Structure 1
Amino acid sequence: MVNNLRGLRDQIGYRIDELGDYLAATPPVVSELMTISRLSRKEERIKSSWEGFKVQHISGEQSVTRIIDALKDFGTDNPQQLNEESTKFTAKYPGLVVVPDKADKLRKLIEEINNAKNQFARALMSLSTDRHKRFDEVHEQFPGLVTLQATRNILFSDIPLKKVTFGWRYNRNTEKKTKHELIDILTGRKEALFKNLLTRDQTERLSTLDYAIKKLASMHLQGDEGFRLCRVNSFPVPIVHAWFEGDDRDTQSKNNYLSTKASLPLFATGSFPVPQLKLLSDWDQSVEGDKAKSGRQTPLVYTELVPGADLGIFIVRAASHEE
């Protein structure tokens, strides 16, 4: 099984090298890569110490080689990097590559890379149905592997691009949950903590989880109240907005507009005129953080289930209830 997994991982790299050979033989008319400064473990834990993200722009011939390297960045085995950098905030590589060729060749190369990634992802998932056990098995074989970086698919458009802009968005994943779903989530967190009892004292955290489970079990929502599971201590992520040819308007209709996370470069075919392009700028937390907060309007009021416990569980109610 180990050799099979390594073979599947190496197959992704082989397919990416084929893409590199193709780009060397068919130079892109647009090749832009943006690298983003990494997040440290300290910044992950203490967000007030985080000043923002610095963005480096790489263009032209140099960017093609760097894009191939970025596509092959599946993590690191460097002990110092593993100790200093956050393992929860994955590396992001926004970019754009436009090749002056028929769509079929580039589409096939991208599909082969994505198929190899999907095969590797399925093989990793088959290791165990228990996600904690699966995590241990995966990282015993690949200590520095960041699974999401290795398995995220590459986007390809065979429709000519008219305009592409890059920006930032706060990744505030908020999900509606039932009381029983939240109890199951907290129970899973307790089980994960028990695995660490031999290496650190988790008594206080376990007590908090027990209290939260009991509180949830006895709660009865009133009127239009509901439960939400929210990501706590999130950071902004790069996004791409792309408008396609075929419509003279800059409208955001279903058929001519795409907006998604820009974790990897977007690939497309076309020649001239090249698409209008706005690159990603730095994120200065002291400025942009306040803008994001002030611009965020919601008709709901969020109240933590256990104030100050950072469980990410909230009771929501209409703002009119607070008036």
Structure 2
Amino acid sequence: MMSNLIDLMSELEAEILQLRMLLREVAIPELCSYFHVPLVTKEEQDSIIEFGYSKIEVTTLTGHEALQRSLEALTDFYVPDSSFSRRFVTKHPGLIVVSGAKFEISAQVKRVNSAKLAFKAGVLVLSETALEKWKEVHDRFMHLITTTVYRSIYCFDENVHRINFNWVSRPRVSNLTKTELLEKIENGIFTVPPSHSMESWKAVLAADKSLIERQTNDTFTIRRRIKLRPEASIRLEDANSAIGYSAGLPYIVFNRPGYFTPLESFDASKKQNRTRKEDSLPLLIKRMNLYADSNSSKGKS
């Protein structure tokens, strides 16, 4: 199984190399942009998890340097060393503008994305537990961050009218009945976190299940906030509205956008404080971001 995973990585790297060669041939460096976002160290990690980012200094690169950094980003799958956080992976927002070879590049991007999906599928079948899966992958790929391997490359072969980079953090909301929630907790036995043994994880799940069973309400809400990340609002020439795309990797376009807003540094002190719905809801299980609905009753004594 592990040899299969090594083969899948080799195939992915070969496809990316081919894409990089194509892009280098037809890219227009003076129209390329790359926005350097600093890595998060382990020393900074806990504070960011608890309080969020206070500032993120973005450095804008253009020309040949931007093109080079963008091409390197396509194979940036690893943290440099153990001093950097594995929970806050590198982001590579940028824009590669090319002229010509539209069919070849679009087709090669599809091959790269297919190879990424094949590698992901190979990882998912390694083991039923997260810890064993993590060990098997990292026995071969030291300091690999699988989520960076899985990232899709966005290539827009239609004329792009507007690209507006920005920082985004939004909640992902799931509403569950008590029965659905209990089933979700029970299924957690198949994904043991690296920080737990099987027995300690079973104890956590049993305590969570007991807590939910004591609740008198029948509906619950999971509001998991997506980490602050760079995105871009992109509108194609003939589209009626823009669509948001993750900016984990540089975008590839075949024309210079009519309107372009670069990614700016983030400063939390300049953001408006908005009241979030979950602030008024009873928090039941922090690790799940699980809240009782606003009309819920408190647990039985």
Q: TM-score, with normalisation over the residues of structure 1?
A: 0.78
Amino acid at match of 2:173: T
Q: TM-score, with normalisation over the residues of structure 2?
A: 0.84
The 3-state SS of whatever aligns with 1:260 is strand
Q: Structure 1 residue 170: deviation in Å?
A: 0.9
For residues 230 and 49 of structure 1, what CA distance do their matches in structure 2 show? 16
Q: How does 1:212-251 map to 2 (within 5 A)?
A: 212-221=208-217, 226-231=219-224, 235-246=227-238, 251=240
Q: How does 1:29-108 map to 2 (within 5 A)?
A: 30-46=31-47, 47-48=50-51, 50-76=53-79, 78=80, 81-82=81-82, 84-108=83-107
For residues 220 and 234 of structure 2, what CA distance do their matches in structure 1 show? 34
1:190–1:219 Cα change, 3 Å? farther
2:268 is the alignment partner of 1:267: no
Deviation string, structure 1 residues 141-164 (Cα, Å, up to 9, x no partner): 223111110121111111111111
| Stretches of structure 2 lacking an aligned partner (at least 5 in a row) | 297-301
Q: Structure 1 residue 318: deviation in Å?
A: 6.1
For residues 195 and 12 of structure 1, what CA distance do their matches in structure 2 show? 30
2:283 is the alignment partner of 1:280: no
Q: Which residue of 1 aligns with 2:299?
A: none
For residues 90 and 175 of structure 1, what CA distance do their matches in structure 2 show? 25
| Stretches of structure 1 lacking an aligned partner (at least 5 in a row) | none
The 3-state SS of whatever aligns with 1:164 is strand
Q: Which residue of 2 aligns with 1:142?
A: 141
The 3-state SS of whatever aligns with 1:231 is strand
* Equivalent residues, number: 292
Task: Please provide the CA RMSD for this pair.
Answer: 3.1
1:193–1:129 Cα change, 3 Å? closer
Q: Which residue of 2 aligns with 1:304?
A: 283
Amino acid at match of 1:11: E
Deviation string, structure 1 residues 183-202 (Cα, Å, up to 9, x no partner): 3554537983697469xxx9
For residues 236 and 153 of structure 1, what CA distance do their matches in structure 2 show? 18
Q: Structure 1 residue 179: deviation in Å?
A: 2.5
Q: Structure 1 residue 166: deviation in Å?
A: 0.3
1:100–1:195 Cα change, 3 Å? closer
The 3-state SS of whatever aligns with 1:33 is strand
For residues 74 and 197 of structure 1, what CA distance do their matches in structure 2 show? 28
1:139–1:177 Cα change, 3 Å? farther
Q: Which residue of 1 aligns with 2:293?
A: 316
Does the 8 A contact of 1:17 with 1:68 survive in 2?
Answer: no
Deviation beyond 6 Å, 4+ runs, structure 1: 205-208
1:285–1:299 Cα change, 3 Å? closer
Does the 8 A contact of 1:162 with 1:275 survive in 2?
Answer: yes
For residues 94 and 194 of structure 2, what CA distance do their matches in structure 1 show? 42
Identity %: 20
Deviation string, structure 1 residues 263-314 (Cα, Å, up to 9, x no partner): 111112126xx432111111112333xx2x32x56499421015xx554211
Deviation string, structure 1 residues 74-118 (Cα, Å, up to 9, x no partner): 113x5xx32x32212221111112212152121012112112111
1:89–1:194 Cα change, 3 Å? closer
Tell which deviates more after alignment, 41-50 or 56-65.
41-50
